[in-house]
Amino acid sequence: MKKKGASNIKVSVILSYLLVVSVMITGLIALYNNLVDFSNKKVRNEDTSELIIVGNILSMLYEVESEQDLLTSEGAEQYYAKYDSLIPAVKKNLERLKEYTDDEIRKNKLDSISLLMKIKSENLLDISSLLDSISKSPNIIRETDSRYVPKELNRDISDYLEKINISNPNIARSDTIVITGERKSFINRVRDVFNAKQDSTIVIENKTLVPDVEFRLIVDTIINKVIYSERLDLRRQREIHTDLIRRQEVMSQTNRMLTSQIDELLKNIEHEEIKKSLLLISERSRAISRSQNTMFVVSLLSIIFAIIFAVLFLIDINKSHRYRMQLEQSNKRITDLLSYREMLMLTISHDIKAPTGSILGYIDLMIEEKDNKKSNFYLQNIKLSAQNVLQLVSTLLDFHKLDKGGWQLQESEFSLYSLIEESTNSFKLLADKKGLEFKVENKIPEGMLCFGDNYVLWHIFSNLISNAVKYTSHGQITILANTHETDSKTVLNFAVADTGEGIDIEDQEDIFNEFKQFIKNNNKGEHVEGSGLGLAITKGFVKVVNGEISFTSTKGEGSEFVVEIPLNVITDRDKDRKGFSKYDDLKDVSMLYVDDDPVQLKMMSEIVQKKEINCTTESNPDNVLGIIDSNNFDIILIDIQLGDKSGFDLVRSVNEKLRDQNVEIPVLALSARSDISISMIQAAGFKDFISKPFNFNQLYEKISKYINSSFINSSVDYNLKLNGVSALIEFVKDDIDASSEILKSFINETKESELILKNAIKDNDFVSISKISHKMLPLFRMIGHEKVVGIMEQLERNKHVSKEDINYLMNAIEYSIEEGVELSSHLINK
């Protein structure tokens, strides 16, 4: 195992390194591919060149436009010359733009720009020519009107003007008057270009003025007046202006269209560049995101693999450690088992050898003894020795079941008060014999009914009380039983305190271990026999019923054991009811018992005959189905071990037979095996399970549980039909007075005896119980009630009697009194 564990760790280490390296290599390759993809995502030179070219075109055009001068022919010529010099460069750029695109729409736009520039160039040339024509072509018509006065008068005026300090007598003013014709439409103006017609007149008039204030002085003395007028010949000029305006409009439209086309082209290219830039940014972001995801996945996988293999390493290490611990525990367990086996063999050999020797000795004495009294004494001792052997075997079987965890609870209704009374009363005589003060405080309500395994509880109570009596030689034993509520549950508190030897502190940790008997002698130095299994079994039973056990002990002062057990209290039942045991009347019940052991068959037959059960026994499993065909049974009992055939196989055949007959009969299993559970039994087809060895009451209770209800909960009336009180007056039935006197005496004496018996039972006065039972026995023997007689005989001999039997007895006595009263009244009326 160690070598295999080391090999597993080595494989895990190698595999972990390979996986981590594989993940890292895969991650690096993916990361490299993402980086290459990222580096390839960049702006193309062609994309930037388009923007640069369009920008150059615009800058050149704006530069020309900023210097335009269309007012003179010289400015127009310069404008045209500069514009014309740019056309080759612009056309070259436009051709380059065509090369960069495959879009036909864009190519058409570039062609339209070229055409517009050509049109603009032609317009500029025409405008330049028109401006030159305007500067050279006008015809001026001049008219002069002069009037003269004598020189003497003119000289006098001049002298006067000089005298008043008019330095510049010839202040000239030129007025131009344009006579505009009617406004015409564009089409009429174009027509007028070809049909010359004067539509406006320009009149230029030059005048020489003097100030108004002076003019008033000289207005009457003007000697000389010269009127000079000029009139242009504008016919040709009008044609040139019209053409110029048209050309300017065309050029203006061309400029607008050209600007619009170039702006649209620029916007489209910019829009495309923005889209490409956004797409590039998005692709680069995705590349970066993929790289980040790759790094994250690689890191995460590496961490996960590291954690997984770390956990695997820890698991392997813990497994190795656990195997080592298990091996050590197994070795210790084997050592303990060997020790326990040795102790068990010693215990069994001693505890079985002694009673077996007693049994053989008494049997030999009985063979030679002729005295019946001595024979009865020998039989009682044989029975006691056999009970001791059976008790030891039962203890070992119980311990085996508990040790394997295979104990199955056999739950039924029971009176907790009566169970505690039975358990404590069975040890009172032994305590009295040892001179111990035996105090019992049973605070359980008498009417409390519980549902559970009373056998387990009886074992717990009996083991604790038995140990207290066994290890206490003087002083007292105190037993306290009460209940308390905890978390809506009723909990039984059962405590047993003694003034015995006590337990050493160092031994208290192992007190519940099997085959541990720390006290070999009581406080008188007397040797105490024991198997060392009592407390181990007690703790196991407490655990089975979900209880807790604790103890306190002081060496030399005594011990106290406390048990707390949750109870399943029956609350929906009449707790004050009176009646007889539910298995008292089993008369005429028909039962089939199958077992391969003739001794068991004979014993079972004798046991059930006491309840007048009709029992058919069979040792051969092959005959069972035929017996079922020819008989009607109320219940069938089958032992699990039937030689070559198993009881599990037989029950399947029996159930099939019953189904074919459309009959439902309960089939119960019997076995002494400790590995049998109730679930296994029911799965095989059995209704229930009776564990061997069993006592009479356990057997009767199981039978009563599954037979027809007519045999359950029998009433008092039926049990007293045997003879009844009328048997007391059978021999004087013809003498009414004598019969009445006998009945009266019986009624009075029985009432008095009943009262004494009740008080004695209440006070646990066993001497009085024995005396009153002895007194009442003859009358009830005459009445013929065997059950009552049997109980009274037990009480007479100070034997233990259950609470149910006591209740049965008191009810039977009370019924007999009522029967006597009714019979006496009948005789009187008769």
The string of pLDDT tens digits covering residues 657-690 is 888 887 888 999 987 665 677 778 888 889 888 8
* Same fold across 413-570 and 590-709: no
pLDDT category of residue 743 using cuts at 50, 70 and 90: confident
Question: What pTM value is reported for the model?
Answer: 0.39
Please say if the pLDDT value at position 712 is more than 60.
Answer: no
Distance from C-alpha of 584 to C-alpha of 716, rounded to nearest angstrom: 10
CA distance 300 to 190: 85
d(CA 183, CA 186): 10
Q: What is the pLDDT of residues 460-480, one digit of tens each?
A: 898 899 888 888 888 999 999
Residue 177: predicted pLDDT: 44
Sequence-distant (6+) residues with CB within 8 A of 731 are none
pLDDT digits (tens, 9 = 90+) for 746-791: 888 888 888 888 888 888 888 888 888 877 877 787 777 777 888 8
Q: Which of 437, 442, 471 shows the shortest CA–CA distance to 560?
A: 471
Share of the chain above pLDDT 90, in %: 8
pLDDT digits (tens, 9 = 90+) for 48-69: 666 677 767 766 766 656 555 5
DSSP-derived 3-state class of residue 451:
strand
Collapsing DSSP to helix, strand or coil, 119 comes out as helix
- As to burial, measured by CB atoms within 10 angstroms (0-12 exposed, 13-18 middle, 19+ buried), residue 224 is exposed
Q: Which CATH superfamily is domain 413-570 in?
A: Histidine kinase-like ATPase, C-terminal domain (3.30.565.10)
Q: Which fold has domain 590-709?
A: Rossmann fold (3.40.50)
Q: Residue 668: in which H helix or E strand, if any?
A: strand 667-671
pLDDT for the residue numbered 184: 46
Query: What is the pLDDT, as a whole number, of residue 576?
Result: 41
92's tokens: 């070259």
Higher-confidence position of 542 and 598 = 542
Name the one residue in this structure whose structure tokens are 């009945």. 743
| Mean pLDDT, residues 418-430 | 82
| CA 246 to each of CA 179, 185, 505: distance values in angstroms, whole numbers, following the listed order | 22, 12, 132
Q: What is the 3-state secondary structure (H, E, C) of 542-587?
A: HHHCCCEEEEEEECCCEEEEEEEEEECEECCCCCCCCCCCCCCCCC
Tell me the H-state helices in 784-802.
786-796
Which CA distances in Å does 276 have to 44, 46, 55, 268, 554?
A: 10, 12, 19, 12, 96
Task: Give the pLDDT of residue 829.
Answer: 67
| pLDDT given for residue 765 in this prediction | 84
Return the percentage of the chain with pLDDT > 70, whole number: 59
Can you give the residue ranges of every domain in the chain? 1-137+240-315, 139-233, 413-570, 590-709, 725-829
Model pLDDT, residue 371: 61
| 224-239 pLDDT per residue, tens | 444 444 444 556 666 7
Q: Is the pLDDT of residue 580 over 50?
A: no
What would the mean pLDDT of 583-599 be, rounded to a whole number? Answer: 79
Residue appearing with tokens 């010529």: 77
Give the number of residues written for the chain.
830
The predicted structure's pLDDT at residue 65 = 61
What per-residue confidence (pLDDT) applies to 71? 52
Classified as helix, coil or strand, 183 is coil
| Residue 472 φ then ψ, to 5° | -120, 120
